[in-house]
Amino acid sequence: MNASGLSPDQVNLQARVRELAAGPVAKRAAEVDRTEQYPWDNVELLKDAKLLGMTIPQQYGGQGKNWLDAVLVIEALSAACSVTGRIAVETNMGAISAVMAYGSEEQKKLAADMVLAGDKPAICITEPEAGSDANGMTTRADKKGNRYVVNGRKHWITGGGVSRLHLIFAKVYDEKGNEEGIGGFLAIRDETQGLKITKREPTMGLRGIPEAVIDFEDMELPPSALVIPPRGLKKGFADLMNAYNSQRVGAATVALGIAEGAYQLALDWSEKRHQFGRPINEFQGLQWKLADMSIKLRAAQALVYDAARSGEGGFPDMLLAAQAKVFTSESAIQVVNDALQFFGARGYSRELPLERMARDVRMFTIGGGTAEVLRNVVAGALLKKKLPQTRDGYLSS
Ligand SMILES: Cc1cc2nc3c(=O)[nH]c(=O)nc-3n(C[C@H](O)[C@H](O)[C@H](O)COP(=O)(O)OP(=O)(O)OC[C@H]3O[C@@H](n4cnc5c(N)ncnc54)[C@H](O)[C@@H]3O)c2cc1C
């Protein structure tokens, strides 16, 4: 897809990343899926191409690129390999952007150095009993003297076992056991006792990045590990979740990229494949399908780019990010499914990428806020109120 409104630098960036994606990244995609191994070689490729930590400000070694720059990179990579696209999301958005916005100088330097060296930070929010209702988390950080002691379990943590830097959300309690709200802590795997990767989830798709259960067993952290100081904790969670709007735009972009890749394959195949003595793209049923696919992609791209642009100088707008993620994730699933249909039996074969794309793209109406919960976010923003979610009525926080 070619969108208007890009600067000459952005057009160049897009062309450069498309070349990388069509070359070495595409070549590895099937193997990454089959072996379920994290593509460290692609991390090196991204590092050499200066695509990791692009959004990190220059004073911390990054390039100070904007969200749309990152989106263009993620979109192009995801058309070839969604796992590599996700690595670009998580090294430019989400946890790293939360730390760069709200962290101390020391935390910013630490996180920037790690990401620029190739680490994909993990963000730890979801728990077995607290998914969409993140406020219901039970992982706790108890202040004891000059340290916090963290106990609890997170699951479905992307990168668990390969990521080193972790941004961990927990309910914080003072010395007397009074709850202070939800806070985010930084911890480095292998340097923090009590941080244990206890299971890898057997996922349907996106298999090159582990999704893990992480247990915290009396994990001790200094107060300097808190990304937001205690007095700001209540507001702190909202701030940190604000940073998550960038991740949502990133997730929508991966879905968009996968669908664009699948659409292109279907378009090319529709010219090559002949049945009844003519190319299958001469059948009107398929022409209309192609038309509908292109319309969905064009609309999704416009929403994603618009949401990215809304974050100039801060984070993407919550409403625009939610609208973009709902529409793009649902449309992308439909487009990939339609693209697979163009290939007949071949589409169902593991020798072509369509079945992998169908498994990969299915995730994006779930992770990072489900389509249903994001519709609540959209409705809440339109009605300018927090919608009741519990039987008791409105949420207190
Ligand atoms: C591949 C993958 C990667 C992930 N990576 C991470 C990660 O790195 N870090 C992390 O913290 N989490 C991660 N997650 C977890 C993800 O954010 C959660 O799965 C998601 O928030 C939904 O929570 P849940 O799975 O517990 O579903 P539930 O909350 O149990 O929801 C079940 C169903 O009920 C619906 N539902 C729930 N509440 C409402 C409501 N109020 N209104 C309408 N419908 C509702 C949901 O939409 C869903 O359809 C990942 C998940 C996946 C699949």
Q: Whose CA is nearest to atom 48 of ligand 1?
A: 370
Q: How confident is the model at residue 36 (pLDDT cuts 50, 70, 90)?
A: very high
Q: Whose CA is nearest to atom 50 of ligand 1?
A: 367
Supply the pTM of this predicted model.
0.97
C-alpha to C-alpha distance for 122 and 160, rounded to whole angstroms: 7
188 lines ligand 1 (CB under 6 A): no
The best mutation among 373, 387, 391 to test binding of ligand 1, ranked by most ligand atoms within 8 Å of the C-beta, falls on 373
The pLDDT of residue 229 = 77
C-alpha to C-alpha distance for 279 and 71, rounded to whole angstroms: 35
The pLDDT of residue 99 = 96
What residue type is assigned to position 181 of the chain?
Answer: G
Give Cα separations from 259 to 284, 295, 320 (angstroms): 22, 12, 20
126 lines ligand 1 (CB under 6 A): yes
User: How far apart are the CA of 191 and the centre of ligand 1, in A?
Assistant: 29
CB 156 within 8 A of CB 201: yes
Residue whose token pair is 């939800």? 182
**pLDDT tens, residue by residue, 276-308:** 999 999 999 999 999 999 999 999 999 999 999
Q: Give the mean pLDDT of 126-146.
A: 96
**pLDDT tens, residue by residue, 204-252:** 999 999 999 999 999 999 999 999 877 777 788 888 888 889 999 999 9
CB 36 within 8 A of CB 363: no
CB 134 within 8 A of CB 151: no
Phi-psi region of 40 (alpha: psi -120 to 50; beta: other; left: phi over 0): alpha
User: How far apart are the CA of 365 and the centre of ligand 1, in A?
Assistant: 9
389 lines ligand 1 (CB under 6 A): yes
Ligand 1, atom nearest to 128 Cα: 26
Ligand 1, atom nearest to 154 Cα: 11
Neighbours of 55 (CB within 10 A): 21
132 lines ligand 1 (CB under 6 A): yes
User: How far apart are the CA of 396 and the centre of ligand 1, in A?
Assistant: 21
Ligand 1, atom nearest to 125 Cα: 11
User: How far apart are the CA of 136 and the centre of ligand 1, in A?
Assistant: 13
168 lines ligand 1 (CB under 6 A): no
**pLDDT tens, residue by residue, 155-204:** 999 999 999 999 999 999 999 999 999 999 999 999 999 999 999 999 99
User: How far apart are the CA of 187 and the centre of ligand 1, in A?
Assistant: 23
Ligand 1, atom nearest to 124 Cα: 11
Q: Whose CA is nearest to atom 25 of ligand 1?
A: 131
Q: For 208, list phi and psi in degrees, rounded to 5.
A: -80, -5
User: How far apart are the CA of 370 and the centre of ligand 1, in A?
Assistant: 6
